[in-house]
Each structure stands twice: as C-alpha cells, then as structure tokens.
Chain A
Amino acid sequence: MTVATILEMVLAAVVLALGVWTIAARETFAATVGYVAYGLLVPLIWVRLDAVDVALTEAAIGGGLGGVLLLGAAARLRPSEPATAAETPGKIVRLSAAGASVMIAAALAAAVLLLPDPAPTLAPAAVANASATGLANPVTNVLMAFRAMDTMLEKVVLLLAIVGVWSLASDRAWGGRPGPRHQAGPHGVLVFLARLLPPVGIVVGIYILWTGANHPGGAFQGGSILAAMWLLVIMAGLTDTPAVGGRWLRLVLIAGPGVFLIVGLGGLCFGPAFLAYPLPPHAKPLILIIEVAMVSTIAVTLGLLLAGAPERSDQG
C-alpha cells in the first residue's frame, strides 16, 4: 500500500462524494457548484492516469467553460425552481432507477476488473508511425494525422451546435447579439481584471497551441483559454457580444473545418488519399496551418456557445 495508492483512493473518494453531492443537493445552484468542483478535481485523476492532454482539456472545457455555462443557466432558471421541485417522481420510480443505476455501475466495474491481460494497445503503432509527421506528442499525432477525419468532423459538429443555438433566436432578435449587455463600474475590480488578464491569457493560450506539437497541449486547450479571455472581456462590459449575422464572424467560424477540408482535398488531388499529408519536412507546416485555423474557430465557437442564443436585435 504505497503513498500513491492512498492518495489515489482519497482522490477517488472525494470525487465520488462530490458526485453524490451534485445529484443529491437540494438546490440547483448548489448542485451546479458541486459539479464545477467535480470538474476541477477530475483532471487530477487524469494526471494520475498519465493523460496530461486530456487533463488540460477536461480542466479547461469540462470544468471551466462547462461550469460557466451551467452556473449562468442555474442563475437564470432560479425562478422556475419551486414549480419543478414539486414534480419529484415517486418512490417506485426512484427505487427502480436506483436499482438500474447500481446494476449498470456494477456491470461496468466488473468489465473494468475483468479486462484482458496483457491489455491490447495501439501505442507501439503510434510510435512506429510518428515519423510520418515529425511531431513528438503522440496525442497530437493521433488527433491531427492518424485520426484526422474524426477531428475534422468534430469541427463540423461544433458548427452544427452553433447553428442550433442561433436558430433559437426570436424573430425580433434574428441575427442580433447574444446575451444581455453587460455593464461594470469603469473603475471596478472586474474591469481591472479584464484589462490585466487577457494579455497574459492570450500568450498562455497561443503557447499551449504551439507547444502541443511536442509536449502536452494542443488546439482545443489553447482555444478554450482564448475563448475564456474573450468572455471575460465581454462580461466586464469592455466589449459587446458580436452580432451573429456578421460576415467576418461567420468566416472565422468556417475557417477551421474549411482549411481542414481544403488540406484533405489537396491530399486527394496531389497524394494517395483524402487527408494524406506530404512527407515529414512538409507535413509539420501544413499541420500548423490547420491548427492555427482550428484554434481561432474553436475559440470563437466556444465563446459563442457560451453566449447563447441571440436576444437583442443588432441595432439594440
């Protein structure tokens, strides 16, 4: 029983306790705060599992941006609390739901404990083919080269989510600006933070994008930090949310999947297959171009997803 094992058991216990709090808390706001805390402790589990890229992504998107999204919604939905709280299902439904959940959790735990030994793994294949791109971070290799199709289609999923959110605008606010106009005291603390932190945050975000080639990092993590800085500036009232009908905004949104698609078609025309990259000296600049387009799209998309559906017309 080493110290590391004790630490991991304590960590797992705390995370599960937070999960129970999230489900069992009486008030929605308290449950959401519990989920934010959970989302900030799970990255520690990911670091213990030696998956630092995933830990960065979970902390930035799952804990950070997801927490902002859910806390904002919980605050806006507070007036609806009493009405929905009265609809708690009866004892029979709750008991059978508990029974089903316990069975599924037990089945999953059994599956984890009975996984085959030695475990099948694709790590040697990833290492063997790493010379195809010249990048040292294996996760970036998998994301941008070996399973680039998944990443490209994921960009399209983000676009679809944006289209879905924007289509919820009322007729009056169609093509307008999401969210309320934030105001903050011009000499206040929030404005001070929104002036001091974004330069640092932008440098950190671009650094994480750049270093993702050889160390843990990448476009998703860097893009979410850039989105967070943009949202901070919006929340301090230093800038307004963009009008969703704007042409430049839509160009930035399709830049990510668009560049990816163009490179992929280039691979089809000049190379052996769709999304085939050229030999190593030329693969890295191409991947970098794709990542730069991706990070701007990701930052703008995540920020807009958090801002929500348009609520004010463009002139208002």
Chain B
Amino acid sequence: MTDTTIFGVCAAAAVGLGLYGLITNPQPLRKIVAFNLLGSGVFLLLGVVGRRGAAAGFGNDPVPQALVITGIVVAFSATALAVALLLRLFQTAGSATLRSDAPTSAGINPSGD
C-alpha cells in the first residue's frame, strides 16, 4: 500500500465529496466551498500522477507540480470573483438564494446602490 495509492484514493474521495456538496447544499457560499474541495481533490490527483513519475533524482515530476501551482492560483481568483458576485447579489437582492423566481432587487435604485 504505497503513498500514491493512499493519497490517490483520498483525492478521489475528496472529488466525490466536493461534487456532492456542490449539488446538494442550497447556500451558495457552501457551494463555493464544496467547489474548492473538489478542486483540491483534483490537484491531489495530479500530485499523485506526478509522484508516480518520480525519476532522475526528483521525488515528484516537476511538470504536474507547475500545473498544480498555476491551478491553485487560478482557482483562488475564480473563488474570489464568485464570492464578490455572491456578496453583491446579497447586497442588491437582500437574499443569497440562487432560485430563478426570487425577487432581484430589494426595491432600490437602478444604479445598483
């Protein structure tokens, strides 16, 4: 039972958990948290693939590592944009629901104050 097996199964489970949370949690912020969990699981999978490619004196293949570093930064910026959208939605509509028939403005002026 090598470390790639243990962490590979852990990463697959994290992906499954994140997907379940993304679908079933009604609160949008928890969907974002579940999405981050899903992303972290995918990065761990890439890390496991890199670990299996250990060669030439390195413990981990450097190319998947670079891809994951790029991915972590991009995932963070996507999360920041999603959170900003959510906060703005809460500010203008008064509620953070994603239902399509919810009122879109809490009776405020159209310049979006």
A residues near B, CB below 8 A?
A: 1, 4-5, 8-9, 12, 15-16, 19-20, 22-23, 28, 31-32, 35, 38-39, 42, 45-46, 48-51, 53-54, 57-58, 61-62, 65-66, 69-70, 73-74, 76-77, 80-81, 83-89, 93-94, 97-98, 100-102, 104-106, 108-109, 112-113, 115, 119-124, 126-127, 138-139, 141-143, 146-147, 150-151, 154, 157-158, 161, 164-165, 168, 170-172, 218, 220, 298, 301-302, 305-306, 308-309
Interface SS of chain A: helix
**Counting chain A CB atoms within 10 Å of each CB, which of B37, B57, B62 scores highest?**
B62
Interface CB pairs A-B, < 8 A, 9: A12-B9, A15-B10, A28-B27, A49-B50, A66-B79, A84-B27, A109-B12, A139-B66, A306-B80
7 pairs of A and B residues whose beta carbons are closest in the complex: A50-B59, A105-B16, A121-B53, A112-B8, A161-B77, A108-B12, A305-B80
Contact in complex: A119, B7 (CB < 8 Å)? no
Main SS of chain B's interface residues? helix
Chain B residues near A141 (CB-CB < 8 A): 62
Query: How distant is the Cα of A120 from the Cα of B82 in the complex, in angstroms?
Result: 36
By a CB distance below 8 angstroms, the chain B residues around A113 are 5, 8-9
B15–A104 CB distance below 8 A: yes
Measured in the bound complex, the distance between the Cα atoms of B99 and A314 in whole Å is 35
Q: Interface digits, B44-69 against A, CB 8 Å rule (1 contact, 0 not)? A: 11011111111111111111011111
A51 engages B80 (CB within 8 Å): no
Q: Can you name the residue of chain B whose Cβ is closest to the Cβ of A171?
A: B111
Question: A38, B1: Cβ atoms under 8 Å?
Answer: no
Given known A-B contacts A89-B24, A139-B65, A157-B74, A69 and B83 have beta carbons under 8 A apart: yes
B80 contacts A61, C-beta separation under 8 Å: no
B:21-55 near A, CB below 8 Å: 21, 23-30, 32-34, 36-37, 40, 43-45, 47-55
Cβ of B81 < 8 Å from any Cβ of A?
A: yes
Q: B87 contacts which chain A residues (CB < 8 A)?
A: 73, 76-77, 308-309
Contact A122 B62 (CB under 8 A): yes
Closest residue of A by beta carbon distance from B42: A108
Kindly state the interface size class of chain B when it binds its partner. 35 or more
Residue numbers in A under 8 Å from B60 (CB-CB): 49-51
Of the candidates B11, B26, B85, the one whose C-beta lies within 8 Å of that of A108 is B11
Question: CB-nearest residue of chain B relative to A144?
Answer: B66
Given A62-B72, A143-B69, A305-B80, A32:B56 Cβ within 8 A: no
| A138 / chain B contacts, CB cutoff of 8 Å | 58, 62
| Per-residue interface assignment for chain B, residues 82 to 94, with 1 indicating a CB less than 8 Å from any chain A CB and 0 otherwise | 0111111010000
A101 pairs with B53, CB closer than 8 A: no
Q: Name the distance in Å between B14's Cβ and chain A's nearest Cβ.
A: 5
Say yes or no: B37 contacts A22, CB within 8 Å. Answer: yes
**In the complex, A311→B44 CA distance in Å?**
37
Chain A residues with CB under 8 Å of B76's CB are 61-62, 65-66, 69, 302, 305
* B99 cross-chain contacts in A, Cβ below 8 A: 87
